[in-house]
Amino acid sequence: MSKPETSRRDFLAQVTFSEDRKLLPHQIEQVIFAVERKRSLNASETGTGKSLVAISMRLLIEHEGGRVVKCLYTCPKTALGQFEKEFIDQGYRTSVLRHGTDVIPADVNTVLIANSTMIVTHRDQLRGWCPWLAVLDEAVAFKTATAARTRAVYGDALDGAGGIVDAVPFVLAMSGTLAPGHNGELYSHLRALTPAALIDERGRIMRRYVFEKTFCVFGSRRIAGNREVQVIVGSRNSNVLRERIKPYIVRATLRDIAPTLPPERHETVLIAREDVKLDDLAAIADIEDAEIRVAVEAIMAAIRDGLVPEPDIDREMTRLMEMIGGGTALAHLRRAYGLAKLPYVEDVVMSRRGKASKGAPTLVFNTYRLTGDRLETLLCEQDVVVGRIHGGTSVAERNAVVSGIQDGSIEVAILQIDAAGSALNLQTANRIIVLEPSWAPGTNHQAIARAVRIGQRNPVLVSWPVVRHSIDEAVMRVLRRKQAGLNELWRNAS
């Protein structure tokens, strides 16, 4: 081992963050990787501590350079307060761009930005500010080559020129789902940050259409005006692409760092369909339209009678939805069965009241606002202290709920999965119920990682209640199939 690398490890081993957190071995390796390569991608799973890697990368750069450097950090809105506090605690002069008229103060060395509109609006100002390090947290936001925010960061030609990262010596793009759908979503990052990964057999950098032709699968999609267009629907030659990008990308999974985490156990809780009265549930799920009600019942029958075969679940579900009312009917059905599972949640919560679970709240992830409303009412009638985060929750209310979870004053947190499934640290909770999972396995994984993450000190039990012979079982089949596809996509990643 070279002396510089040894000194880097020694320095990083001494770095301390809020709550006396220190870097784990895999994080130290990732910091050194990022500094050595200067521009790289970190596709580690949520919960493995990428944010500390990014902050430590800055600390190491400053340690070796002997001066404080300017850092631009794009982060999720939900984590803005958390990152602002972390930088301030580290002694940095920090500014947050919140409005289109904001001007970066002259004495600031850290700029945080969470709104993609601000990235576009302040493109020139950020370039002129000349950051030394740019951290693109949740870099999946910059996956679309034609999007204004992608071009603001990576330049109109995606080669960095004219973009915010132009002339920035160190750039780290981070996301637990860097290419969640298909290989084509990697092109923007690779072209701007690691163009050497795109060299073709003639020694030239691949153009986007060549990259997509080589690594993507196209299919037809019907759009407005009854026209068909070609869109990317999948990936091909993934093994070849993974070998190409291996020198520039680092990835850690929760399984990789499992020895440093308490055990995580998942259980499927089957609820007898005979106990569910769909007609009653349909009424309280706001299904007033008779045609939609018929459509809901038709979907229920199709799933019950096996008309949605497991191997063709997506295609058949799409066909059925087109026949009987589309996603609206499906959403009503999922919401109805979500309501059917509320008694199970109530039983779990009431059984945990007492000394054994004191200070360890239950996290309930749901999809539909109505389900959360009904569950909150049900629990409040039992004098349970409930916290809620949904799409309409203000920043102040969100912070209050997070504080209540962390200090144990909240017994149950009802969290809408799209609004609270990322960028929150809820390690005090060790019981999770995924009441209404998302159709995307990555979204569910991110939600669970709010508690199953570095800093968790207790075993975590994750329950997936499922109404038998219902849309729930179809959803679980889809999630298993999609997760298998994602695992295959990353099989040869570093």
Q: pLDDT digit string (tens) for 323-342?
A: 545 556 667 678 777 888 88
Q: Look at 323 and 208; give whichever has higher pLDDT.
A: 208
Q: Which of 477, 470, 475 is nearest to 300 (CA)?
A: 470
Identify the pLDDT of residue 493: 39
Q: Look at 390 and 317; give whichever has higher pLDDT.
A: 390
pLDDT band at 302 (very low <50, low <70, confident <90, very high): low
- Strands of 202-315 (E only): list them: 216-223, 227-235, 249-250, 264-271
Q: List % helix, strand, coil for the chain (3-state, nearest 5).
A: 50, 15, 35
Cβ 463 vs Cβ 434: under 8 Å: yes
Q: Which of 312, 390, 387, 299 is nearest to 349 (CA)?
A: 387
Identify the pLDDT of residue 475: 83
In Å, how far are 24, 41, 210 from 199, measured between CA atoms? 35, 18, 11
Name the percent of the chain lying above pLDDT 70.
80
Tokens of 427: 């390690």
Is 491 a residue whose pLDDT tops 60?
no
Is 385 a residue whose pLDDT tops 90?
yes
Please identify which residue in the block is written with the tokens 């179809």: 474
**Dihedrals φ, ψ of 24, to 5°?**
-90, 165
Identify the pLDDT of residue 351: 77
Q: How far apart are CA 107 and CA 157, in angstroms?
A: 32
3-state secondary structure at position 136: strand
pLDDT band at 492 (very low <50, low <70, confident <90, very high): very low
Q: How far apart are CA 370 and CA 64, in angstroms?
A: 54
Is 309 a residue whose pLDDT tops 50?
no
pTM exceeds 0.75, yes or no: no
Q: Which of 111, 96, 112, 87 is nearest to 17 (CA)?
A: 87
Residue 293: CA count within 13 A, CB half-sphere: 13
Q: Which of these ranges, 15-29, 55-69, 371-385, 425-439, has the smallest mean pLDDT?
A: 15-29
